[in-house]
Amino acid sequence: MSRCLLSSSNQRLIAAARPASQRCVHVAAGKGFGILKSPIKSKNYWNGREPLKMLPVTPMRPVPPEIKRPPYADSGKLPSVDRRPQVHTPEGLVKMRAACKLAAEVLNYAGTLVRPGVTTEEIDRAVHDMTVARGAYPSPLNYGKFPKSVCTSVNEVMCHGIPDGRPLQEGDIINIDVTVYLNGYHGDTSRTFYVGKPSANAQRLVEATEEALQAAIKLCGPGVPVSAIGAACADVAAKHKLTVVRDFIGHGVGTVFHAAPEVLHHRNTQPDKMQVNQTFTIEPIFVEGSNKVKMWKDDWTATTIDGGLAAQCEHTILITPNGHEILTVA
C-alpha cells in the first residue's frame, strides 16, 4: 500500500514536505470536492470507456478478537511515519518472511478470482476471509479509516481504490494490493491483473510496469543508493513512452506499515543507502498520459485526470549481505 506525498483535508493520507509541483491535485472539502479547481489540458484516454464513479461501500468486516492487531486497528488513527529504517534481527526476519509469504499467497488467490462479472467487494471478502483464517490481520482495514481489507484499483485508478459493488468488465485492468499483519509484522505486495483479454495499450502498460519493478530490484544491495530505484524506473518508463506517477512511493515496512526510506520511482537525489537486513517496498505506478492526480471525495481513491490507464506492481525486498531477496513470493 503506497505512501502518498500529500496530506488530505482529514489527514487520511500521509504528509511529507515536497515542492508543489510534486504534489497530488487535491481539492479542499466542500462544494466541488474531488474535482480539479483548474482543469489541466490533456489528451483524452477514455476511448469510449465509462469513467469510474463512487459507489456505496459496505461496512468493515470483523476480525476475530484473538488475532493480533496493529496499533491503529481499533482507533482508525493514521500513525505517523517511522523515520527509522526497518532493519531486522534474525528472529525478526523469520516473522517478516512469514508475513510476506502469506501476503503473496493471498494475492495469488485473489488473482484467481479476477474475471468479468466479479465485483471488487467479492474480492475483498475473499482476501479478508483468507487472511483471518491464516491468523493474520488485513493491514489496510481501518488504517486511517480505510474501510476495506484490500485495495482494488481498476483502470484509471492509480492506487488505494476501495472495493465496491461494480462488476469487473471485459478489458478492465485491476491492481490488487494486499498487506497482511502476522505476528507483529507487515508483508506488502501488489500486482495488476487483466480482466479477460486486455487491449494492446493495457498490456504494454502492465508489462512495462512489471519490467520497471524487476529492473529496480536487480540493483538492490548493501550500500546502494535508494535513488537508484527511481532512476531504473524512469529509464523503463521513457523507453516505453509512459509516465511515472510521482506522488505515491514505496516505503520501509516491517513492524510498522510505513517507515523510512522514501522509495521514489522517478529520478531523485534521495540520500539514503540500503542496509543489510533492511526491508522496504518497491511499487512503481505507470500511466498512459498525465501523472497528475485527482482525488475522490473518499480521500483515498486516486485517479488519472485524463482517463489514462494506470498500472502498479509491488514487492517487499530484503537487503542481504550479497544483494537482495524478494520476500513476497509464494
Going by C-alpha positions, the residue among 171, 204, 219 that lies closest to residue 319 is 219
Cβ neighbours for 101, distance < 8 A, ≥ 6 positions apart:
187, 327, 328, 329, 330
As annotated, the binding site for a divalent metal cation includes: 177, 188, 251, 283, 314
As annotated, the binding site includes: 160, 177, 188, 251, 258, 283, 314
- How far apart CA 289 and CA 291 sit, in angstroms, is 7
Strand partners, 173: 194
As annotated, the binding site for substrate includes: 160, 258
Residue found by looking up cell 523510512 in the block: 260
